[in-house]
Amino acid sequence: MAEAVAGVGRFKSNYAVERKIEPFYKGGKVQLDQTGQHLFCVCGTRVNILDVASGTMLQSLEQEDQEDITAFDLSPDDKVLVTASRALLLAQWAWQEGSITRLWKAVHTAPVATMAFDPTSTLLATGGCDGAVRVWDVVQHYGTHHFRGSPGVIHLVAFHPDPARLLLFSSAADTSIRVWSLQDRSCLAMLTAHYSTVTSLTFSADGHTMLSSGRDKICIVWDLQSLQATRTVPVFESVEAAVLLPEEPAPELGVKSAGLHFLTAGDQGMLRVWEAASGQCVHAQRQLPGPGRELTHCTLARAAGLLLSVTADHNLLLYEARSLQLQKQFAGYSEEVLDVRFLGPKDSHVVVASNSPCLKVFELQTSACQILHGHTDIVLALDVFRKGWLFVSCAKDQSICVWRMNKAGEVACVAQGSGHTHSVGTICCSRLKETFLVTGSQDCTVKLWPLPEALPSKSTGPDGGPVLLQAQATQHCHDKDINSVAIAPNDKLLATGSQDRTAKLWALPQCQLLGVFSGHRRGLWCVQFSPMDQVLATASADGTVKLWALQDFSCLKTFEGHDASVLKVAFVSRGTQLLSSGSDGLVKLWTIKNNECVRTLDAHEDKVWGLHCSRLDDYALTGASDSCVILWKDVTEAEQAEEQAKREEQVVKQQELDNLLHEKRYLRALGLAISLDRPHTVLTVIQAIQRDPESCEKLEATVLQLRRDQKEALLRFCVTWNTNSRHCHEAQAVLGVLLRHEAPEELLAYDGVRASLEALLPYTERHFQRLSRMLQAATFLDFLWHNMKLPTLPMAPAAL
């Protein structure tokens, strides 16, 4: 181990957050602007605005009350955004600048549940949980209408597309659609054909037809001239949104005639196109497996030709409207991140396993996201092969998947395997070549899966699907769940860590037991081989990390510092240091040689389940239960270079200061000393001035020529000097100059002057008391000297 620890210069000392992948959408409304360039969505107390092209967040708007946003809407001219919060306040935003232009009370007695602009971007309708509908003029800033009579929550409001007709539609808990006349201030009609919640209202371009969708699995076409239903189309799924398509042929969507066609999104998780006249489904997307695929929202940006749909697990999918070709994918919320890995030969991508059957692959440079479907239950663990193109995943569905990323960054599933009888909680790839992988499961067994030689270069099996993998060896390893498996750098050893508080070492490929590592007081969460030495690291729920010798299975070192379970551990700096992550939300950097915790990184708010280091050892990746993935950059060299530059600058300035004092250029010397922000150096300059024969005049002239910020710094330094009886005279001399020559108003305007004066007063009083006592003692001594009567000395006899 001593060989690997040699060379302290390679030790890391710090990491800094380079990039953070955070949740930006946690459910609720989403909206595109007319150009399709910006995406608006709700995330708790904020409305986030994303740039569609790059995926970057442009603005994050939060009202002053910091309450959850309950509704928002963007005006048709894309200029005005209005948000409503739980505090019953409405805010009007100039969203491109990120500033509020107007804030007013909603007047509703319960939170606003929905809102919509009219086509002229002048009127805003709000529907509240109190059953009231209110209309506001956002240009003239006043309320125009108040409609009552709806029972329960108003969850839908929409204006007629023809502003001349002045019609407003609303739907509440009674499943009927009310038509309100703004001109007559009354309810014109109640459209009662749905038997469950109405989820969307959309209008034809000419304004003569309206389509309503509901959770009663039907869509209804309404004639707005007669306010009667003309067609009821059963769609056989609970519909969350329906969109009327432009009346023009679209062969890719099965739209061959010019009649009315509409698109539905619902709990089957696929977009479907329907012909209204015949009630037939003319096009349907391929249905993907697994839960969380249900569609909760769908909106069409006609001018941009884009369609946006949202899934129940908060993924946002952007399609080209005429062909439903997928253009972009966004992962709005990852819930609990369970594992993370770098991908690509240059670590250009990261793959994230969250509390979902889907995997998310992010390109670090452009924030582009791919959502991978293959598992049918939550993905628990990931690992990547040495070259970075091939990676593997395992899940609660008892299966494993092998994925390959091509040079364009596109990922496809190339192999699948199943055989465990319980959840597969850990997986590890071979280190030398892409030849096999090992899995560990809650069924207490480990399986070794060989990979076909052609797999890395071939995408599909003989039947066009992924290649099916077969386990070569199965070994019952522990008495409880296996939480971690690790393969040695030479592919000849396997380590397993279990909930039974032990780690075991096995010989591959026969899985023969070589030894047991015992010593942890609780279950093990992670095992990891050193890349350089015959050493194994284990992380445990007892809050410690231990290093073990592979030769005699003895414990070499124990690292204590986490307050809770240590979930992951990784070797860095060529095996001389460790990174560990824990349930306390902390990531710690340890130096093995001296057992020292060099740095604690605190950026997560919950359990850090995922930890991975880049192949060049210059980046680390963490993922936690707070739904955040953080990219950390090793800033050791940058900090050392910065420290060296600071030291060199200090040396140069110190030399310059000595030269100025030697030349008696006190003003420049004092200014330079203050810029160094070193009270003792400034004190040295003041003492040098006081040693001058004309010290009083020179001190006054020097201090008074300083800038105001320099005088403020000098006053702060005086507070420090004044606490010491040896330096109080210099402090009092400077204070005397300031008090004699600065007006009281100017002194009170100094930054932090009140705190400085409060600190100066008690010590100054103590110094004056000490000087008074000394003066009294000196006066008494002088009095004694003058009043002493010496006895008369006898005269010496005259010499004969």
The more confidently predicted of residues 370 and 751 is 370
Both tokens of 57, joined, read 């967040």
User: Closest Cα partner for 446 from 401, 378, 359, 507?
Assistant: 507
Residues 138-154, mean pLDDT to the nearest whole number? 92
Work out the pLDDT band at 2, boundaries 50, 70, 90. very low
Tokens, residue 682 = 């400034």
Comparing C-alpha atoms, which of 180, 212, 210 is closest to residue 196?
212
Q: Tell me the pLDDT band of 170, cut-offs 50, 70 and 90.
A: very high
For 440-461, the pLDDT digits (tens) are 999 999 999 999 887 755 544 4
Q: Does residue 669 contact residue 681 with C-beta atoms inside 8 Å? A: no
pLDDT of residue 798: 56
Alpha-carbon distance of 416 to 397, in angstroms, equals 12
- Name which of 225, 181, 226, 172 is nearest 201 in CA terms: 172
- Residue percentage of the chain with pLDDT more than 90: 62
DSSP three-state, residue 308:
strand
Mean pLDDT score of the chain = 89
DSSP H or E segment with residue 761: helix 753-787
- For the chain, what are the domain ranges? 197-332, 639-769
Does the CA dihedral 54-55-56-60 come out positive or negative?
positive
How far apart are alpha carbons 160 and 180 in whole angstroms? 10
Q: Whole-angstrom Cα distance, residue 270 to residue 266?
A: 7
Closest-CA residue to 274 (of 218, 204, 197, 207) = 218
In this model, does residue 794 exceed pLDDT 70? no
Q: Is the dihedral of CA 183, 187, 189, 190 positive or negative?
A: positive
Tokens of 763: 């010590």
Comparing 50-54, 67-71, 659-663, which segment has the lowest mean pLDDT?
659-663
Amino acid 706: pLDDT: 83
pLDDT band at 69 (very low <50, low <70, confident <90, very high): very high
Q: 419 near 447, Cβ under 8 Å?
A: yes
When pLDDT is cut at 50, 70 and 90, the band that residue 703 belongs to is confident
The structure tokens 């004969």 sit at 800
Q: Which residue has the higher pLDDT, 742 or 508?
A: 508
Tell me if the domain spanning 197-332 has CATH number 2.130.10.10. Answer: yes
CA distance 213 to 264: 8
Tens digit of pLDDT for each residue in 176-190?
999 999 999 999 999
Question: Stretch 123-132: mean pLDDT, rounded?
Answer: 95
Is residue 397 scored above 90 in pLDDT? yes
Please report the pLDDT score of residue 462 as a whole number.
Answer: 45
Integer Cα distance of 249 and 637 in angstroms: 61
pTM of the model: 0.78
The whole-number average pLDDT for the span 559-585 is 94
> What's residue 362's pLDDT?
92
Interval 604-624: pLDDT, tens: 999 999 999 999 999 999 999
Least Cα distance to 607 among 336, 371, 413 occurs for 336
The number of beta carbons lying within 10 Å of the beta carbon of residue 434 is 17
Backbone angles phi, psi at 652, to 5 degrees: -65, -45
pLDDT at 4: 38
